[in-house]
Amino acid sequence: MSEENIPPEESAEEEVERVVQEAVKAGKKKSSKQPKQKKLSEVEELKQQCGEYLAGWQRAQADYANLQKETQTRIGENIKYATESFLQELLPIVDHFKYAFNGIPEEQKDSGWLKGIEHIQTNFHKVLEEHGLELIPTVGEQFDAQLHEAVEEVDGEGDSGVIAAEVSSGFKLNGKVIQCAKVKVNK
């Protein structure tokens, strides 16, 4: 029996009944001399066999639907984090911009070339954000071991456990921490 012969709108019960009727017709063609009781038991066997086949087919359909859902979930996760290793190679550049701007003398802070570099940095940050990358907030925030790595405890103004300074930036990619922020924490 092929799937082409089954109309798509046919219910499972209708399909079982149709298969039984076909089997009964086939049995009549083979031999009409068999006792009636024997024919009825064959019909019951065929109904049971059809029910088993139908249940197996339904389980296979459910397994296939589950496999499709799981595959789509995996593909989505792979796409979401496919750029992770490439972005991790770019992360030091963010800190390099910070270090460069911290080292500029006060008298050069209003120069035109510096404004150009700041524009490049801004565009670089936009590109990273478009790919799901976000900076982890640090200075003034409460220390969180899942987001921050304490490299030093300092005596400073502020509450204990509050971040006093950032040593290097931390980042999340689509909500997942890919680099903890290195920080100095108040004692």
**Residue 141 near residue 162 (C-beta atoms within 8 A):** yes
- Pair 93, 171 in one domain: yes
pLDDT at 2 over 50: no
Partners of 183 in the beta sheet?
Answer: 150, 166
Q: How many domains does the chain have?
A: 2
pLDDT at 65 over 70: yes
User: Does residue 3 form part of some domain?
Assistant: no
Separation of alpha carbons 98 and 181, rounded Å: 14
Would strands 181-186 and 163-168 be described as parallel, antiparallel, or unpaired?
A: antiparallel
pLDDT classification of 108: cutoffs 50, 70, 90: confident
Would strands 148-154 and 181-186 be described as parallel, antiparallel, or unpaired?
A: parallel
User: Does residue 96 form part of some domain?
Assistant: yes
Q: With both helix axes pointing from N to C terminus, report the angle between 84-102 and 112-130 in degrees, rounded to the nearest 10.
A: 160
User: Does residue 161 form part of some domain?
Assistant: yes
CA angle in degrees (0–180, nearest 5) for 89-90-93: 125
- Pair 90, 164 in one domain: yes
User: Does residue 110 form part of some domain?
Assistant: yes
Buried b (16+ CB within 10 A) or exposed e, 50-64: beeeeeeeeeeeeee
CATH number at residue 158: 2.30.22.10
* pLDDT digits 0-9 by tens, 123-136: 999 999 998 899 99
Separation of alpha carbons 187 and 161, rounded Å: 6
User: Does residue 49 form part of some domain?
Assistant: yes
* Residue at 4: amino acid letter: E
User: Does residue 24 form part of some domain?
Assistant: yes
- Pair 135, 98 in one domain: yes
Of the candidate ranges 6-10, 53-57, 69-73, 137-141, the one whose mean pLDDT is the lowest:
6-10
For 77, the token pair is: 């996760």
Listed residues 51, 80, 109: the one ending a domain: 80
Q: Which domain holds residue 51?
A: 8-80
Q: What is the pTM of this model?
A: 0.56
Residues written for the chain? 187
Listed residues 80, 98, 122: the one ending a domain: 80
Listed residues 50, 80, 110: the one ending a domain: 80
